[in-house]
Structure 1
């Protein structure tokens, strides 16, 4: 009685990791340290909770499907300032909508942006490989063929868009890109993003740029999809970007983010919410509005992660294959046998990491580009981060 197309729902990274470690007890006498999940362990600023409390009289109100005017205005202002967009390029009513974090919206794009047929054939969804599991879920939801674009050292861990065959592009309905990338922390250049938009318009597919790590950087702020659209003349056709407060503001539990870009897709998303999904509650939108208006806490977060990167370089910097990522908070380390190493470290050191192969899929040639790596998340306070890294350092 269960739809067989739902099989990938049990195939996401952490379900696979749990199955892999099932029956393996972490080292006795050591406190477990979970360097596996990209979940910030620092708290959002206190004013977020204060804003929720101040809006508590609104819990009895259904939130507008696209978000209230204050939230949408704060997001529009933030995007315009952050990416140097021309005044008036973004129309708050047409180009921006609230979403419940990015995971839900990325998954739903498989339904919203994928027709039953594309040029008379089964549509394709392009996605980076390794990938966020919602991209694969979107293909399941849209009954589309997932086509994996390997991110490897040879292409700077960014999918080689111009190597995708024209016959695949002709069937492509949706393309996911993630920048800064997960897990390698590479940043797509403005020219790379412009080329992605050009391909989307040439072959008429939707480009969805997942920018959830865009504010965890050191040095130059990463370029963004809307910035590339501005450089191409300002049209938002065939592109949406997605952001959330999960990493930027250490607020994954808020389930608040936004999607901005193509007005037809943004409008359809709001209509979809009215039928089969939920909007972010108004008290949480009030907190989100305050968070998008404040940069001081974001700068503090960046300083926190910069310190963790300093510690990682101090502890792992002399290990083969170590490099500081351009953005984000993941270390990717090479491993001869990532699965065996992950099991050994959990058993002997009570530290949990992720084989990147669990985040990836075999390509048409049977190659999994994640197999040679493990992912380590630098999300704890400095003391815990250093303890976890020092426990695992001898294994590399």
Structure 2
């Protein structure tokens, strides 16, 4: 018998999209703008580093990360955020999704004050947040991230009874799908709320290195400035977007000493460490910023192109970071179907990234468009999209 808490889950976003579109022929040359899979080149030296360390496939890799990789990540955190996080507070991951899920299982209590705990989740959201909450036996509480709240969740608006039962809050900045960025004031307010109601902040920052002008503030730097309990904050990072290496499956989690101990213990029983040659590649990637600057410049050019093409579209708001456009439409599902059957452009209905709450789905009047194709191809697709949907 399957656990009842998983019995009413909707299909994952991309199987839902295939069910919506694949029985229809595309209306033109196919342009896939659905999945956030980076297409920019990764550093040309990666194959050489891999070749130099290929003998590492002959040994079991360090489960928590090699000392050299953990040192490289610790140094990057210091450079990027000005925060002091030693390697003993870091664990490597097979991509950030592994950590986002396992943190809920490893760190969250089964009850709080004798009641079922809650986990606060932005709505729309990356779907692993909900599954992590359910696997930990918690009640997911979906907090709308709407235009009027800057497309970030207002966790302080959650009823006190649910806040008192909260054990964690997931937050993504820059946000997937809206591209909104939590500023210093937002982080301070959230940390203060977490301390008041005694919950942990799970901060998904995998898009942090793709932004327009100003590096997004990270929760670690604000927590350290505030003197918050190191156990209050857990951050998740990845090389998928920063370094254009989604297939490397390399990320990390950084947390307080006790949380890291528990995460490492959980992984010792259930996790799969990154092969050592791939850890050597990751070590070099975290130590190098030149390729990150080059990558970010390409996305900044795409931001400017999208702003130019979509200027005047009612409700258009260019993203502050990440590489998604969150475009307003009357009905995202119908818009996605129309685009596919009439133009061949494939986008994701916003409702597939959100949950209905009280009969409302905050993603329904949006489509998510991934700006991962080459700039010229992206620009032509956006012109076609604009002319089809907004004129």
- State the TM-score bracket (shorter-chain normalisation): over 0.9
Alignment of 1:348-367 (within 5 A): 348-363=342-357, 365-367=358-360
Alignment of 1:83-122 (within 5 A): 83-85=81-83, 89-93=84-88, 95-122=89-116
Shift of 1:79: 0.5
Q: 2:373 pairs with 367, 380, 392, which one?
A: 380
Cα-to-partner distance string for 1:291-325 (whole Å, 9 max, x where unaligned): 10111111111111111122212221121122221
Shift of 1:234: 6.0
Distance change (3 Å), C-alpha of 1:10 and 1:44: farther
Q: 1:183 pairs with 172, 177, 181, which one?
A: 177
Shift of 1:192: 1.2
CA contact (8 A) 1:67 1:97 kept: yes
Instruction: Give the 3-state SS of the residue equivalent to 1:362 in structure 2.
Output: coil
CA contact (8 A) 1:125 1:174 kept: yes
Shift of 1:6: 3.8
Looking at structure 1, the residues matched to 229 and 291 of structure 2 have their Cα atoms a distance apart, in angstroms, of 32
Q: 2:250 pairs with 252, 256, 259, which one?
A: 256
Shift of 1:267: 1.4
Shift of 1:43: 2.2
Instruction: Give the 3-state SS of the residue equivalent to 1:173 in structure 2.
Output: strand
Alignment of 1:269-348 (within 5 A): 269-348=263-342
CA contact (8 A) 1:8 1:140 kept: no
What is the number of residues matched between the two proteins?
Answer: 389
Q: Structure 2 length as normaliser, TM-score?
A: 0.96
Structural RMSD (CA): 1.5
The range that moved more, 245-254 or 313-322, is 313-322
CA contact (8 A) 1:362 1:369 kept: yes
CA contact (8 A) 2:254 2:260 kept: yes
Looking at structure 2, the residues matched to 265 and 143 of structure 1 have their Cα atoms a distance apart, in angstroms, of 19
The answer to whether residue 26 in structure 2 is matched with residue 33 in structure 1 is no
CA contact (8 A) 2:118 2:167 kept: yes
Alignment of 1:128-277 (within 5 A): 128-233=122-227, 235-277=229-271
CA contact (8 A) 1:317 1:323 kept: no
Which ranges of structure 1 fall in alignment gaps of 5 or more residues? none
Looking at structure 1, the residues matched to 296 and 49 of structure 2 have their Cα atoms a distance apart, in angstroms, of 23
The range that moved more, 48-57 or 174-183, is 48-57
Instruction: Give the 3-state SS of the residue equivalent to 1:259 in structure 2.
Output: strand
Shift of 1:90: 1.6
Looking at structure 2, the residues matched to 215 and 101 of structure 1 have their Cα atoms a distance apart, in angstroms, of 16
Which ranges of structure 2 fall in alignment gaps of 5 or more residues? none
